[in-house]
């Protein structure tokens, strides 16, 4: 297939934006795959800030980072992404180059614990406030479950109404696949 799949495309957007030494955010740690990816991208002099409300996600991510000897590049917060503004030190405000969200529930975890529209929208607003110009937020939206559809239905109107002078917003999705495949919203701060 010549078209990029959802997750490879999300990573390509991040790779185009992030360099060694940058600060980045993993807003939903999950099992640590994106955190590990980001830790490799930012190199020894960069910093990843990671957030998750579930202890299991924080533990899974910490283990993955220790196994790869990358834990010193990452600060993990056992709290929701709606606390980005107050958790990331002010010395990094204005320097964050990228953020990624995988919305929904922890793969292999408790499916009743999900991301919510109010916290996700709050986190996006906070990130747009403290990110560097020409930085990117990538949201991978899993809407094949009831709460995911609710979050999708709140996020789409929100991002469509972001001022085009402040941000470019892209939607990337396959529109002829069954079972509500995930899609991407990318927000590039101007």
Cβ atoms within 10 Å of 64's Cβ, excluding its own: 19
pLDDT value of residue 2: 86
Digit-coded pLDDT (tens) for 3-61: 899 999 999 999 999 999 999 999 999 999 999 999 999 999 999 999 999 999 999 99
Question: How many Å apart are CA 167 and CA 118, to the nearest integer?
Answer: 20
pLDDT at 128 over 90: yes
Contact at 8 Å (CB) between 138 and 171? no
Q: Percent of the chain, pLDDT > 90?
A: 95
Digit-coded pLDDT (tens) for 64-98: 999 999 999 999 999 999 999 999 999 999 999 99
Sorted by where each starts, the structural domains of the chain and their CATH numbers stand as: 6-189 (3.40.50.150)
- What is the rounded average pLDDT for all residues in the chain? 97
pLDDT at 1 over 80: no
Dihedral sign computed on CA atoms, order 175, 123, 190, 49: negative
Question: How many Å apart are CA 175 and CA 171, to the nearest integer?
Answer: 11
Q: Percent of the chain, pLDDT > 70?
A: 100
Tokens standing for residue 144: 């094949």
**The pTM is what?**
0.97
Contact at 8 Å (CB) between 127 and 167? no
């Amino acid at each position: 297939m010549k078209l990029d799949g959802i997750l490879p495309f999300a990573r390509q957007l991040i790779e185009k934006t992030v360099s060694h030494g940058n600060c980045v955010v993993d807003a939903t740690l999950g099992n640590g795959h994106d955190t590990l990816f980001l830790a490799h991208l930012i190199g020894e002099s960069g910093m990843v800030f990671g957030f998750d409300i579930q202890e299991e996600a924080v533990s899974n991510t910490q283990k993955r980072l220790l196994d790869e000897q990358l834990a010193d590049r990452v600060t993990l917060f056992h709290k929701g992404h709606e606390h980005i503004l107050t958790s990331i030190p002010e010395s990094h405000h204005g320097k964050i180059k990228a953020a990624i969200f995988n919305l929904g529930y922890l793969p292999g975890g408790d499916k009743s614990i999900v991301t919510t529209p109010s916290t996700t929208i709050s986190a996006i607003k906070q990130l747009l406030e403290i990110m560097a110009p020409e930085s990117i937020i990538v949201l991978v939206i899993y809407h094949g479950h009831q709460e995911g559809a609710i979050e999708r239905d709140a996020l789409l109107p929100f991002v469509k109404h972001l001022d085009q002078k402040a941000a470019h917003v892209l939607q990337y999705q396959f529109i002829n696949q069954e079972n509500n495949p995930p899609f991407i919203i990318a927000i590039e701060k101007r």
